[in-house]
Structure 1
């Protein structure tokens, strides 16, 4: 089965020495690269080749270990650098048997560096492993590489440590996820599935839609589902969160004015809207400097890096 190599490229406003240090120092590399949990350099046996050990924790107490070797090629005229490498694992539970690739550091002009990688690998477990790799593992591995490159960009450009970027992304993702779930739940369950549980009576008491309460409630439910889905679409927009917070305040006041007795309930419009407003505030604050795999180029302009074919480890 023909394999498609993974390619990722990103532009960074940084200098070569800083980027080289962040990517070639094991203690720094393992902080931003999701593919590796630990990297250890071994004592050099020659001046050109650097051998290393790596470990990747995949969860549930499972981990994959492997070894590799890297070699640097410098082009004095252009200032480009290429780090070629080979890697592999002898573990039987490792999908990756062996692979190779490169990192390329190129001067893009005007203080921009183009940092790119292209790598490929062979898999275990026969056709089953090949299909699993093609359909799931390789696409996810490519996205993880691209996302890691943007984490590196934030570190190189803005001095935002990877731990801060990763934590910020997790907080943002959780806040957005909960907002989407709550909006969709409020639209589906009390309005579309079980309107007689209280929402229909509340609308009748308001007198705002006399005679067509059922239809209005359905439209409100669809609208709330729409707000939830749009929150997923505009999750990086601070203006969207301001609009949603205003909408939550209006819905909360409308319910409490119509039925003040709702304040006595353990779960009332104030507690629900207040919690959702807090989630909006958290999502809005965490939407700044979020790493994103979409900032990376995933198709190479050429099929190979200069000098890659001639260099061997």
Structure 2
């Protein structure tokens, strides 16, 4: 049975900063290894977008999706949700931002249906690793001020560069692993 992906990282930064660096496509595509480009399509509500990932020279996976966010929630958290489709997979997911006394718990849960199920034996572990590695890359950028393109070289002596191992891969509680109702509306 296929299991959805869950990744969580604690970032020592304020909620507005984490939100901005994850919701602005120009910033998002800089830290997230899963995407080469992300582009919002103008004049759509909920927000539609295009994305592309260059897997190898001459091999690009491109797709479209729709996203919506909850910037203000009664409990102080924020969420965003999305649905996406490409020739490789169709899926959905969410980001949750949970303020803590020392920063933000930034977490995601997502799942997808691959076009070729056997390919998923390779893709699912790779997508989980790439997401966790990217979350740690974002953490380093926001905590240490080291932009993603420079982080492997500058942080090697200090941190060993971004590492997927620093991220939680299993929900610590039932709330964290539950998709927000916002996802159903997309």
- Fold match (TM-score > 0.5): yes
1:156 aligns to 2:142 (yes or no): yes
**Which is greater in Rg?**
1
For structure 1, the residue ranges without an aligned partner over 5 or more in a row are 170-284
Determine the structure 2 residue equivalent to 1:180.
Answer: none
1:151-199 deviation digits (Å, cap 9, x = unpaired): 0001111111000114x28xxxxxxxxxxxxxxxxxxxxxxxxxxxxxx
Aligned to 1:112: 103
Q: Deviations over 1:53-97 (max 9, x none)?
A: 0010001321011001101124532210110100011x3xx2x1x
The 5 A counterparts of 1:1-313 are 2-46=1-45, 49-89=46-86, 91=87, 94=88, 96=89, 98-108=90-100, 110-124=101-115, 129-133=116-120, 135-166=121-152, 168=153, 286-289=156-159, 290-300=161-171, 301-302=173-174, 303-308=177-182, 311-313=184-186
- Runs of 4 or more off by more than 6 Å in structure 1? none
Q: Structure 1 residues 63 and 306, CA, compared in 2 at 3 Å: closer, same or farther? A: closer
* Kept after mapping to 2: 8 A contact 1:32/1:152: yes
Unaligned runs of 5+ in 2: none
Q: Using the alignment, how far apart are the partners of 1:28 and 1:299 within structure 2?
A: 26
Q: Partners of 2:127 and 2:179 in 1: how far apart?
A: 21
In structure 2, distance between residues paired with 1:19 and 1:74: 12
Distance in 2 of aligned mates of 1:74 and 1:100: 19
TM-superposed CA distance for 1:136, in Å, is 1.4
TM-score by length of 1: 0.55
> Cα offset for 1:130?
1.3
Q: Aligned partners of 1:76 and 1:66: how far apart in 2?
A: 30
Question: Which one has the bigger helix percentage?
Answer: 1
* CA contact 1:83–1:102 (8 Å) conserved in 2: yes
More strand as a share of residues: 2
- Following the alignment from structure 1 to structure 2, what is the Cα–Cα distance between the partners of residues 69 and 295? 29
Report which structure shows greater RCO (CA 8 Å, sep ≥6): 2
